[in-house]
Amino acid sequence: MSRAKAEQQQPAATGVTLIVFVGLAIAFLLFMAFLTAFLNVIKSGNVLSEANLLFAALIFYVGADALYLGFGVTGTDSYVKFASLATCGGFSLIHSRLRTVGTKLGILLSPVSMRCC
């Protein structure tokens, strides 16, 4: 008769790989977005235009979505912390642009409404 062997349970993964990959993807996409913006500076003269800031905010939101999805699948708490930071970064980019547009239009936006996290 053969004996049955019980396998040791593997420890749960800490979940750093998804954070690293999403961070690298965000950095690459931001680099490509600002490289494209830099090449368009010759025409327009403004790197921090509304379209560029909104596109950067979109990149941060997509990274946060990937991390929230990873949390939903694995249940790793560190994904939520980094996703909250990415969401806060996108929120700050959008509201920094809204603040400059609001001051050009003569609308005073209160600092309390601009607070993030």
- d(C-alpha 43, C-alpha 26), whole Å: 26
Q: Answer whether residue 110 is part of any domain.
A: no
Give the pLDDT confidence score for residue 29 in this predicted structure: 84
Q: Answer whether residue 23 is part of any domain.
A: yes
**Where in the sequence is the domain holding 79, given as residue range(s)?**
17-105
Q: Answer whether residue 83 is part of any domain.
A: yes
Q: Answer whether residue 10 is part of any domain.
A: no
Q: Answer whether residue 87 is part of any domain.
A: yes
Tens-digit pLDDT profile for the chain (117 aa)? 677 787 777 765 566 888 888 888 888 888 887 777 777 666 666 667 777 778 888 888 988 988 888 888 888 888 899 899 989 988 888 887 766 655 555 555 545 444 555
Rounded CA Rg of the chain: 21
Domain total in the chain: 1
Give the pLDDT confidence score for residue 45 in this predicted structure: 66
Contact at 8 Å (CB) between 25 and 10?
no
Q: pTM for the full model?
A: 0.64
Contact at 8 Å (CB) between 35 and 29?
no
Q: Answer whether residue 69 is part of any domain.
A: yes
Identify which of 64, 55, 49, 34 has the alpha carbon closest to the alpha carbon of residue 97.
49
Q: Is the dihedral of CA 72, 73, 77, 82 positive or negative?
A: negative
Q: Answer whether residue 98 is part of any domain.
A: yes
Q: Answer whether residue 1 is part of any domain.
A: no
